[in-house]
Structure 1
Amino acid sequence: MHALDPLNIVGKGIISPAELHEIMQDPHSSKSLKVLDATFVLPDSNIDPQSNFSNSHINQAQFFDIEAISAPNVSLPHMLPSVELFEQAVSGLGIKNSDMIVVYGQTGIIMGPARVWWMFRYFGHNNICVLDGGLPAWINAGYETTDQPTTDIIKTNFKAVAYHHLLSDKEQVKTASKNKTAVIMDARPPSRFNGETPEPRKGVQPGHIANSINIPASQLVNPDTGCLKPDDELKQIFDPHLKTNTPIITTCGSGITACVIALALFNIGTKNASVYDGSWAEYGQARLQ
């Protein structure tokens, strides 16, 4: 069987541009491959990810809109959708349960792709990984992009099952904070964690969850390449905070970069870290810290 066959890539958190390119060139493996651009930007950004995607994307990629594929009619940003809504959206992208999915970001792995990786895992699809270094790494490796839209998308009947252990809510986090029954890791920059700079969302006070620790998402990425740091460096970052049989909850501003921590932990063998979906956008509003 092909060394990089989609059936063999389950459980791998990241994939290199060379590995993805090899799969795309293989007539067998490429049939079961779906590539998604999952770029996300903060509310105050003037960047338009969908416009950028239209101008330049990996061949046959589709845009996964985190805001659109989220729970409707809630006050918090891009909360997880229902099983039914997720099934409908993913089926519309032509994705089958048997497909391998590779997710990438236009600026690397921090803003968006790890979130979509976690979403698919939460909904029971483990055959997914993140393109290490994102689109810049793909281009720097000499691989082509296109401005041609992906066509001939055939709607599927994707089925999802929620794996609730990968998700934490406000009450669970409040209890874990009070009783120190979980390690709570916050992915925001230190200045936001320490309350030195304002939050980007209106009505959210500065600060952090009591008894949480700050592991900025940027600390997990090589600043020169945009790739996730090697496993030995990640272990140096995480090992002082990991406790045997103690759950891990990851958080951030609104549940995006918290997933980068979850991805990095997954890569070094800690597979079941849960993500606090509401994150500080909820907790900072509720004044629970």
Structure 2
Amino acid sequence: MDELVSTEWLAAELGSPDLVVFDATKYLPNEPFDGRAKFREARIAGARYFDIDEIADPDTDLPHMAPTAGRFARLMGALGVSNASRVVFYDQKGLASAARGWWLMRLFGHERAAVLDGGLPKWVKEGRPTEAGEPPAPPPAHFVPDFQAERIRGIGDVKRIVRQGGGGALILDARAKGRFDGTAPEPRPDLPSGHMPGAVSLPYTELLNPDQTMKDPTALRRLFEGAGVTQEQPVVTSCGSGVTACILALGLKRAGFPEAAVYDGSWTEWASRPETPKVTA
């Protein structure tokens, strides 16, 4: 199963008994929308809602950190996902938060996961079927996780990378350039903008076409190479809270680079720690 699927592919596969489609929309704190409410207004027919804030660690004050394997397995089973399922994620913006769902599935060993290229906007523009209202509860399933530790990094890992001067890995930051430079505010109140020493800015929006589909592998490869990515050096992706960092991870895989790890706490964790060094332009 490819990591990125087209609306044509999904339309042909919709209704297959092994296919689970999720709306994984997550709006930023400064956006006046509720993803679940808008899911009830219009969704791809048969879709379920993947709540990034619920499918997370409830015992931290950091936003939507990855859950334990046991919690993930329980919640996936309740949402009707088994190890035999093919899982497709989309979001209401096009391609903003769906990759977080894709990455979480892979973090827990489920490779049969993909992101819908262009998301709900492209689906709707093409006149494909949607529905509204509260969806029926899915039949429960059994999901056995297989945690893949190499796909995630914590603050201790990133501190070591920074201390090594970037020798251990290249940190790619998916946030907008102004937030990276410290010239634009963060969407979370009281959080300073800036970046980690040695990090490189590659806003996730640069990976996307105007219609919010992802650029082709050749164009992606040029972007990543321009940011300093090589086949040899490991890459750690970061963003504001570990959501759009997953778009960079998706793009790297699509461009044929070795799989990146995601810094789950990202800038929200780094900037909130008094002992961590912060850089502005």
Give the TM-score normalised by the residue count of structure 2. 0.94
Task: State how 1:229-268 maps to structure 2 within 5 Å.
Answer: 229-240=215-226, 241-268=228-255
Tell me the secondary structure at the aligned position of residue 17 of structure 2: helix
Match of 2:8 in 1: 18
* Residue aligning to 1:139: 124
Preserved contact between residue 177 and residue 184 of structure 1 (Cα < 8 Å): no
Cα shift readout 1:130-162 (whole Å, capped 9, x = no counterpart): 000000111122211111543362111111121
Q: How do residues 85-164 of structure 1 correspond to structure 2 at under 5 angstroms?
A: 85-110=71-96, 112-151=97-136, 153-164=138-149
Tell me if the contact between 1:250 and 1:262 (Cα under 8 Å) persists in the aligned partners: yes
Counterpart amino acid of residue 49 in structure 1:
G
Which amino acid letter does the alignment assign opposite residue 117 of structure 1?
W
Counterparts of 1:148 and 1:183, CA distance in 2: 44
Distance in 2, matches of 1:67 and 1:260, equals 18
1:168 corresponds to: 153
- How many residues are paired up? 273
The residue that corresponds to 1:5 in the other structure is none
Equivalent residue of 1:96, what SS?
coil
Specify the SS of the correspondent of 1:31. coil
Can you give the 5+ residue segments of structure 2 that lack an aligned partner in the other structure? none
Instruction: Give runs of aligned pairs for residues 26-105 of structure 1, distance below 5 A.
Output: 30-105=16-91
State the Cα deviation string for residues 255-284 of structure 1 (Å, max 9, x = none). Answer: 011001001111112242000000000111
Q: CA–CA distance in 2 between the matches of 1:233 and 1:43?
A: 31
Query: What is the CA distance between 1:239 and its match in structure 2?
Result: 1.6
Matching residue of 2:173: 186
Is the 1:165–1:272 Cα contact (8 Å) retained in structure 2?
Answer: no
Distance 2:259 2:230 in 1: 14
Unaligned runs of 5+ in 1: 1-8
Identity %: 35
What is the alpha-carbon root mean square deviation over aligned residues? Answer: 1.2
Q: How many Å separate the matches in 2 of 1:81 and 1:152?
A: 22
Pick aligned residue for 1:221 from 208, 212, 216: 208
Contact map agreement 2:174 2:201 (CA 8 A) in 1: yes
SS of corresponding position for 1:256: coil
Q: Which residue type is aligned with residue 238 of structure 1?
A: F
Matched AA of 2:178:
S
Report the Cα distance in structure 2 between the residues aligned to 1:161 and 1:213, rounded to whole angstroms: 31
